Amino acid sequence: MPTEKATALVLRTVEFSETSLVATLMTREFGKLGVLAKGARRLKSPFESALDLLCLCRIVFVRKSSEALDLLTEAKLLRRFRPAGRDLSSLYAGYYVAELLLELTNEYDPHPELFDLADETLAALSAGESVARRLARFELLGLRLLGHLPSLDCCAECGAPVTLGRQVAFGPGGLLCNKCRAGKRHVIVVDAGVIKTMQQLANPQGHSWQRLETDRRLMAQLRGVLNNYITHLLGKRPKLHRYLASLER
């Protein structure tokens, strides 16, 4: 069978036998893949340590025509994910990036821009950048790239423009006007500054989001909005949400 080459991030590994692993990879060229890595658990593995969680690697694999797992034949380590310092928040943020990629993408549905965003985010976390801001950037721009971004400038129900006063209503689909918020469940009220920050973080153009000045209260509100929205989008609470409370501090 012909082989394929790709650049991949390791999202998850599961022991398959005494010597092998099943790995879930996010590739730039092919999207998410499930692969069988024979011999990966041996002391002298042909993959060395390229299949550690969140490693960036260059892979060669045989694509199966049936529903069987693809067969990984080579993996060369390009970069490890090594969070800066002793702060566990960077580590949890990296794991959360992997969880979102697992939950929000489908197999063989490539999103090269999302891959580049994830790779950039993990590199920034390793370099010691602001965890809260960098993670929110990944979530919001990632949601935009996948077509799931909440409405941040008009009403999610009727499409009417929403003027950002001191506070605004935010529902499961995004902003709500005064008319549409009446009688709606799961609606929260947030400061307009939170929405403005989300708009900048979700903007794919420029680097103005890196110069954002935010305080602890705003970022705590932003984390709450994102947690609620992503939980509603997935239909369940992501496992890493319980560990992200440290970002508010």
pLDDT in tens, 37-81: 998 888 777 787 899 999 999 999 999 877 789 999 999 999 999
With left for phi above 0 and alpha for psi between -120 and 50, is residue 182 left, alpha or beta?
beta
pLDDT digits (tens, 9 = 90+) for 112-149: 999 999 999 999 999 988 899 999 999 999 999 999 99
For residue 86, pLDDT over 80 is answered with no
Predicted confidence band of residue 249 (pLDDT cuts 50, 70, 90): low
Top-confidence residue, 84 or 132: 132
Residues 6+ positions from 70 with CB-CB distance below 8 Å: 33, 34, 35, 36, 61, 62, 63, 64
Top-confidence residue, 87 or 23: 23
Give the largest CA-CA distance in the chain: 65
Which pLDDT belongs to residue 47? Answer: 84
What are the start-end ranges of the E strands in the chain?
A: 3-15, 21-27, 31-37, 56-62, 70-79, 167-171, 174-176, 188-191
d(CA 153, CA 8): 35
State pTM to two decimals: 0.93
Query: What CA–CA distances, in Å, run from 219 to 115, 117, 203?
Result: 25, 21, 18
For residue 85, pLDDT over 80 is answered with no
One-letter identity of residue 61 = F
One-letter identity of residue 221 = Q
d(CA 170, CA 191): 10
Q: Is the dihedral of CA 240, 52, 109, 39 positive or negative?
A: negative
Q: 191: helix, coil or strand?
A: strand
Mean pLDDT computed over 27-33: 97
